[in-house]
Amino acid sequence: MQTTEQTRSQLPQLTHARNPGMTLDLDWVASVQANTSAIERRAATLGGRRSVKKDYQAAWLLKAISLIDLTTLAGDDTAGRVQRLCAKARQPVRPDLLAALGMEGLTTGAVCVYHEMVETAVRALEGSGIPVAAVSTGFPAGLSPYRLRIAEIGESVRAGAAEIDIVISRRHVLTGNWQALYDEMAEMRAACGAAHVKAILATGELGTLRNVARASLVCMMAGADFIKTSTGKETVNATLPVTLTMIRCIRDYQDRTGIKVGYKPAGGISKAKDALLYLALMKDELGHPWLQPDLFRFGASSLLGDIERQLEHHLTGHYSAANRHAMG
């Protein structure tokens, strides 16, 4: 069992203060709008405008690896699978490839698992500095009894999770009950204690980009350290229009409060070229600080394998079979 100090030592090293939250400002929430057509046009230009090649592309892909929350959230997870995933997090790219690229000490940003696998992951990552993130609060639907959702957070923190990915109650957004969403998020934030909290909005179930924007703002007001697109279990997960909407809310929140909040797109990001688009968008909209693990993460698993294949192609000129870059 992890102590509070051990859990704290696994937290990402911040160059900024955690988000303490603020009083719910309903006037600010009501004023938030989202011009869907303009957002979609901006997102559609990214693929044509941003292209990095050769050594520059390799450098960006190595950066992307350091930002991955390497994830397994399957009903048939076993201790062995989680241990193999943790070994991959410690050594995400074959040593010969890293040596050829002049890199050493590269790890993923975190390992993300269900509560039942937290202690297994913590033991497997001991001494690595890689934090364990636990999905919580009745993930993915968030419809279990409220007291059990709060209790689940505490159980995961006591098991050693340094980060908690909570799911919000979508009904509060769909009915415009912003006070209920704020109160829920604030209590979940408090239950996390020293552990960082990522608020999963399940954007594919919120109906409109305006709802996404307002939910993002309310969760930040209530103290979310990160806002995250999806559980990965919805029909629609992370998209560039949703990302643009959420990170502009992050920018507005920083402009108003001076506090930096992180962003995590999750679900559907499986190709290296997609990771490059997200990194370019983050740099354009929020700047260099949001290209660090304490402010940006990819929620992914298969993404790492494709990045590793791209790095081998960069070095050899040939694409390898996926089984040469197994997850464990």
Residue 7: the pLDDT is 47
d(CA 120, CA 78): 10
Taking 60 as the threshold, does the pLDDT of residue 70 lie above it?
yes
Q: What is the pLDDT of residues 285-305, one digit of tens each?
A: 999 999 999 999 999 889 999
Q: Characterize 87-106 residue by residue with b for buried, 16 or more Cβ atoms within 10 angstroms of its Cβ, and e for exposed.
A: ebbbebbeeebbeebebeee
Give the confidence band of 3 by pLDDT, cuts at 50, 70, 90. Answer: very low
Q: What is the pLDDT of residues 161-198, one digit of tens each?
A: 999 999 999 999 999 999 999 999 999 999 999 999 99
Phi and psi of 311, rounded to 5°? Answer: -65, -40
Phi and psi of 132, rounded to 5°? Answer: -100, 130
Active site includes 69?
no
Taking 50 as the threshold, does the pLDDT of residue 217 lie above it?
yes
Instruction: Pick the catalytic residue from 225, 264, 274, 294.
Output: 264
Helix axes 209-221, 240-257, angle to 10 degrees: 40
d(CA 187, CA 176): 19
Q: Which amino acid is at 101?
A: L
Cis peptide before 140 (omega within 30 of 0): yes
Q: Which amino acid is at 262?
A: G
d(CA 324, CA 208): 41
Residue 231: the pLDDT is 95
Q: What is the CATH number of domain 24-325?
A: 3.20.20.70
Instruction: Pick the catalytic residue from 165, 225, 294, 306.
Output: 165
pTM: 0.93
With H, G, I as helix, E, B as strand and everything else as coil, classify residue 164.
strand
Residue 12: the pLDDT is 57
Residue 165: the pLDDT is 98
Residue 4: the pLDDT is 45
Tell me the domain boundaries of the chain: 24-325
DSSP letter string, 171-238: HHHHTT-HHHHHHHHHHHHHHHTTSEEEEE--GGGS-SHHHHHHHHHHHHHTT-SEEE---S-SSS--
d(CA 97, CA 241): 34
Active site includes 225?
no
- Here the tokens at position 111 are 């390992």
Average pLDDT over residues 54-61: 94
Q: What is the pLDDT of residues 119-170, one digit of tens each?
A: 999 999 999 999 999 999 999 999 999 999 999 999 999 999 999 999 999 9
- Here the tokens at position 22 are 């603020």
Give the confidence band of 8 by pLDDT, cuts at 50, 70, 90. Answer: very low
Instruction: Pick the catalytic residue from 228, 260, 274, 294.
Output: 228
SS3 helix, strand, coil % of the chain, rounded to 5?
50, 10, 40
Q: What is the pLDDT of residues 21-52, one digit of tens each?
A: 999 999 999 999 999 999 999 998 887 765 78
Do 181 and 218 form a contact (C-beta atoms < 8 A)?
A: yes
Do 195 and 163 form a contact (C-beta atoms < 8 A)?
A: yes
Active site includes 274?
no
